[in-house]
Amino acid sequence: MELSTDLSIKTCLFDDESAAIRHIRTAVFHEEQGIDPALDWDGLDQKSIHLVAKVCGESAGVARLREMTGSSGLKLERLAVLKPHRQQGIGAEIVHTAIAYSLSQSYTTLTLHAQLSAAKFYEQLGFVAIGEPFEEAGITHLKMEQSLTGLEMGLEKG
């Protein structure tokens, strides 16, 4: 499917879009994937930057960016797109927005823990697997990372 021209992605604090963030993460992580809400709502949302994607003003996807202690990188977490909005490029646009934000704040790496089923999606966006698969929230994950060094020129032209 083609990416909607009515897509907007907002970079914000949790309190600015808490209803949308809660709705999407509850639908995707708790209801679809059976993840314990206590694992998802880990107390770190207030200390994170959030990305909220909207199509025609309707919330469609979210992600969270959290600074990694003792590093010059951010961790991309909690990327979720509601079922009716999947396969439209929204997840990729959220990741591109996360990369652009990271660059604008002078971070040098973007790390994530991809569900194994989503690893290929992240590989296509420039992330590289690090280490062996592991269990997190009862789901097999893979640590992945993208170096942002040298990406500034590519994003400015694109």
Compute the average pLDDT of residues 84-107. 95
Q: What pLDDT does residue 102 have?
A: 94
Q: What string of DSSP letters covers 74-95?
A: EEEEEEEE-GGGTTSSHHHHHH
Domains in the chain, start-ordered, CATH in brackets? 7-157 (3.40.630.30)
- Furthest-apart CA atoms within the chain: distance in Å: 42
pLDDT class for 153, splitting at 50, 70, 90? very low
Give the per-residue pLDDT at 150.
77
Whole-structure pTM value: 0.91
Q: What percent of the chain has pLDDT over 90?
A: 85
